[in-house]
């Protein structure tokens, strides 16, 4: 029963994020855009409303805040880490992402029963 909850609350949103990343490389007709071999630019607010960091502070509303600007990732909160252009969520919780991420990755890897928002 717990595995099904984890699957619904973690795996399905990850699949949705992956689909949005794949579709962001297409134009309005559904054709692949030119020279998108390693990824494409995406608007962070369209990808996910939830991400985390390894910092020690949280925003006023209790969510971990991540701001992406070009090659810079600024994180305020707990629950994940960022290395290069890869952000990995490792704890359940509420996260807020803003900015845009080019040719980067967002990973969700939690080992406990919980929810990532």
Is residue 117 in some structural domain? Answer: no
> What residues make up the domain containing 57?
2-108
Q: What is the model's pTM? A: 0.47
Q: In this predicted model, what pLDDT tens digit does every residue of 6-32 receive, in sequence order?
A: 656 676 677 777 777 666 655 555 555
Q: pLDDT tens for residues 57-84?
A: 445 567 888 888 877 888 888 887 888 8
In a domain, 50, yes or no: yes
42, part of any domain: yes
Q: Are 60 and 78 in contact (CB under 8 A)?
A: no
Is the residue at 116 inside a domain?
no
Q: Specify the number of domains making up the chain.
A: 1
State the Cα–Cα distance between residues 3 and 109, nearest whole angstrom: 14
5 half-sphere exposure, CB direction, 13 A CA radius: 9
């Amino acid at each position: 029963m717990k595995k099904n909850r984890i699957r619904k609350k973690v795996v399905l949103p990850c699949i949705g994020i992956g689909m949005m990343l794949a579709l962001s490389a297409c134009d309005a007709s559904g054709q692949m855009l030119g020279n998108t071999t390693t990824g494409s630019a995406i608007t962070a607010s369209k990808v996910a409303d939830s991400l985390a960091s390894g910092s020690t502070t949280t925003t006023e509303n209790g969510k971990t805040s991540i701001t992406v600007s070009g090659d810079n990732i600024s994180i305020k909160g707990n629950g994940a880490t960022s290395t290069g252009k890869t952000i990995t969520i490792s704890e359940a919780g509420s996260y807020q992402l803003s900015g845009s991420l080019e040719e980067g990755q967002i990973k969700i890897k939690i080992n406990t029963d919980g929810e990532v928002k």
